[in-house]
Each structure stands twice: as structure tokens, then as C-alpha cells.
Structure 1
Amino acid sequence: MVTVNFQHLRAEFEQQVFWVTGTKQGIGDAIAHWLVARGATVVGFDRQAQAVYGGEVGQFIPVQLDLSDETALHATLQEVLNTTPRVDGVVNAAGVLHMATCAAITTAEWQQTFAVNVTAALLLIQHALPALTQSRGAIVNIGSNAAHVPRLGMLAYGASKAALSSMTKTIGLEYGKMGVRANMVSPGSTDTPMQRALWHDEHAKERLIQGDLNSYKLGIPLQKVATVDEIAAVVGFLLSPAASHVTLQDIVVDGGATLGA
């Protein structure tokens, strides 16, 4: 039986600094807590105000920022680097979802989706790259299984996550020779406020698990919706030394809902 040395893992994270977006709730919040619990310092970016938290070693430093505001983003990231120049990893977990068909999506909704889901991720990475090359750090972007299979009503969301996946792999290819790894984690249905906003009655979760052929959804083979902690654990692995030879990958964490597509 293989024994995992969690003390060694904690020691690896104790001296490290990570940037995480979308930390107010959902997957971003879970990732920040996962890292802080293992001794890391997390600079958390979100448009909603947050509180400082942490223990004897790890700490969470909140930064209020609207990721769709490119001017504010540039200024804020430079200020963060001036204060804390070290960056060992970047996790882009923030995302927006506008449910709309091709005929109904507005230009404003399309542009905001790409501004937050793609452009903000690129800008964070660009600002962090000098520090990441020094630390030989890691990038993990949160995608979606909607980038792997089409979903009704998710035109802009799916397209933005597909763009994010391609962007991530290209960055990984460009900076691999400098020791920087870049990967995607693409969740399926996960118990987050964004997911619950799509549930309109008490049976919605069960229907999601069982599938709906009218919506071209086959259901979830593992018969459950993911928890945010399950997604955070995969992200944590990719940030850790255990994944030191993993890059340019898009890991789908959806309980088998896309049948490996």
C-alpha cells in the first residue's frame, strides 16, 4: 500500500503564494481554503468584499476587484506584485454564466462572459509570468465540461471555456521550457451557487443526475453532483509537486457525465 506523506505536502505549500480568482464563493472559495489549510498564502481576487482568514501558517489576503474592468485589473495586479512579488501558482476560478441561445444572447452578455472567463485569466497570467518563471510555478484554469460537449443555452459560456482551454495549453507549450506548468480542470455539475441558480424545483438535482434526453444530457454515471471540495482537491494536486510532470492537460471532473468526451 502506498503511503502519502501529508507533512511533506504541507511543507511544500508553506512557503508558497498563490493567486486565486472568484474566491467569494463556490469552487474558488474551496480552492483558497484548501491551500490556506496546507500553509499557503492565497491572494484572493473577487468583486465582492471578503474577510481575512488563516491559521498559524497559511493566510488568505482578499483583494476586491471587478475582473471585467481591465484598467482596474492592471493597476491592482501591479500593486499586489509591488507588495508580494512572489507567485508560485495562479488559479483562475472566477466565471460568469449567461443562459441564452444563439438568437437571444446579447453583445453585452457575450463580451462580459469573455472578459471574465478568458481575458481576465490571460491578464492575471501575463502579470504573474515573470514571478512564475522564477518559482517554476503552475497555472490551473477552471473550465467546464460544456467546452467538451455542447449544452443547450450555454452558447457563450461553452465557447469561453473552450477558448480558455486552448489558451491554457498554448501557454503551457510556450513556457514549459521555463518549468511553468499550465493545466485545466473542467468540472461538470458541481454544487455551487451558480449551479443552484439553475435548479427551479426540488427535483432538479435528481433530474440532473438521471439525465434528460430532451436536453441531450445523459446524466451522471457516478450518480451524484460534485462538491466544491472534490474539485479543489484536483486543483491542489495540479499545483503540488506530485504533478511535476503534468502540463497541457484538460482534466474533466464530471462523474463521467460526458462519457470521456
Structure 2
Amino acid sequence: MKFAVIGGTGLIGSKVVEKLNAGGHEAVPHSKSTGVDVITGEGLENAAAGADVIVNLTNSPTFDEASPAFFRQSMENLLRAGQKAGVGHFVVLSIVGVDQVPELDYYRAKVLQEDILTAGPIPYSIVRATQFMEFVDAVMSWTADAATVRLPATPIQPIAAQDVADAVAAVAAGEPLRGIHNIAGPEVFSLDELGRITLAARSDGRTVTTDDTAGMFAAVRGDVLTGKDDASLAPTRYADWLASR
């Protein structure tokens, strides 16, 4: 099978391309660096031509109120190019619990992306993942100073990027789900606890202070960002991931 992996040079995309090609498929990475622009539409028809599957792993450059416009325009352009090329399966990567945090602009934008896909002309699959282990440093940086990291006690279930890529590749190589496949890491932590574990593993002397008003995840209610009974659990544990870095 031939796959057009849009956003195929990024953290997840590059791993999806590698996984699919290792499985005997032809996966071609596309991004701005290869001449494909999902907003202007430049290069999209050529990227979709001959593809059996489009895997869309592009992301909004911001997490604010500008993100819905990005996802609307990019999805409309990609669906148009895919339909013209006769693509039979369209896959996107989303977030576990994304439809339960309407307070966040970015999460509402990802719901919009899902809605455009499900209403579109191409059979589809949505893979929803929990928070990436690779993003923990960025999350801590939002509310950190030289001595302290402030984090809410929001429950999360971190998953390694490689495990996400493996799941996306498996779904993309299968029949369209016309629905959602949830994936999560094997362990649940509160975000403040995860911060303490991370700093201790790195002998970082800063202190984590629990602050349920700090950062983007302060808006999350309860355990909506954790995998429920229908989620497939990935194998990589956070301590093992940390040790491998």
C-alpha cells in the first residue's frame, strides 16, 4: 500500500513513515520542507496522487484561538485533494478526552478537525492518544522558574511517541474504522507527581509545587485525559522511557 504521511517529518510522522516502510509499504513523508503546504494547498494534489491512505499528522503552530482556523483550512484542503486522488482511507491523530475539555481553544480545534473528517467524503479512522512523554518538559516549562515548577494534580496517562507511531501505523494499514481508536500509556500519574519523578531522575534540584491553577492542564476536570476501558495500553513505562533518554 502507498501512504501519504502529511507532517511526515515531525516527531510522530517520521516514526510512522519508518514503521510503515519497515512493514513493506511505501510511505512518503510530506511537509513544508518537501513543498507541501496544508493551508495554501501547495503540493497537496501531487502528495495525494497514487496514495491509498492519507495520514494527517500536521499540527497547528499555536494552541490558542487561531488553531481552529488552521484545522478547518488544512482538513478541507486535504479532503479535497484526497477525494480527487481517489484515496480510500484518511487517518488523523487526536487526543484522548479531547471532546471533554471545551475550555481549551486547542482541544475545541481538534474536535473540529475530527468533526470535519467524520462528515467528509473519505472513509476514516481517528486515533486518540494520551499525552506524549516527550512533552512533559514543555509542560513543566510553562509554569517554571529557576527554583520551582508549579503543576496541577491533573491525572494523565503518558505514552511514548514510538508507541503512538506504532498504533497510528497499524490503524493506517488496516480497514477504515469509521470511528475512534483510543491508546494510552500503561500508568496513570498526577501531573505534579510526574514532574517530581522527572526532576528526580535528572537530579534537577527544583521543587514541584502543586498548584491547581497552573498551566493549560488546570482547565481539565477529573480524569478525562486518561484511557478508559476501551483504550489499548502501550508497553513503554515512564521510568523506562526516562532511563533511555
Q: Give the TM-score normalised by structure 1.
A: 0.60
- Matched residue, 2:59: 95
- Matched residue, 1:139: 90
* 1:199 and 2:140 aligned: yes
Q: Give the TM-score normalised by structure 2.
A: 0.64
- Matched residue, 1:250: 180
- Matched residue, 1:186: 128
- Matched residue, 2:112: 163
Q: What is the one-letter code of the residue matched to 2:89?
A: A
Secondary structure of the residue aligned to 2:29 is strand
Counterpart among 43, 48, 51 of residue 76 in structure 1: 43
Q: Per-residue CA shift, 1:198-241, capped at 9, x if unaligned?
A: 2326xxxxx98xxx34xxx2233xxxx21122112221222224
Secondary structure of the residue aligned to 1:94 is coil
Secondary structure of the residue aligned to 1:197 is helix
- The CA deviation at 1:185 is 0.9
- Matched residue, 1:125: 79
Q: Any conservation in 2 of the 1:97–1:157 contact (CA below 8 Å)?
A: no
- Matched residue, 2:38: 67
- Matched residue, 2:14: 29
* Same amino acid, percent of matched pairs: 16
Q: Which structure's residues are more often helix, by fraction?
A: 1
Q: Any conservation in 2 of the 1:118–1:161 contact (CA below 8 Å)?
A: no
- Matched residue, 1:43: 28
Q: Per-residue CA shift, 1:68-106, capped at 9, x if unaligned?
A: 3x2xx2x4123445xxx311101111112635xxxxx5x
- Matched residue, 2:68: 114
CA distance in 1, matches of 2:59, 2:73: 11
Q: Any conservation in 2 of the 1:20–1:32 contact (CA below 8 Å)?
A: yes
| Change in 2 beyond 3 A, CA 1:195/1:146 | farther
| Change in 2 beyond 3 A, CA 1:169/1:34 | same
* 1:218 and 2:155 aligned: yes
Aligned CA RMSD, in angstroms, stands at 3.0
- Matched residue, 1:12: none
- The CA deviation at 1:182 is 0.3
Q: Per-residue CA shift, 1:138-189, capped at 9, x if unaligned?
A: 211111125233176xx22101111112222223xx55xxxxx301111111
Secondary structure of the residue aligned to 2:113 is helix
Q: Per-residue CA shift, 1:53-76, capped at 9, x if unaligned?
A: xxxxxxxxxx233433x2xx2x41
Q: Any conservation in 2 of the 1:35–1:42 contact (CA below 8 Å)?
A: yes
CA distance in 2, matches of 1:259, 1:185: 12
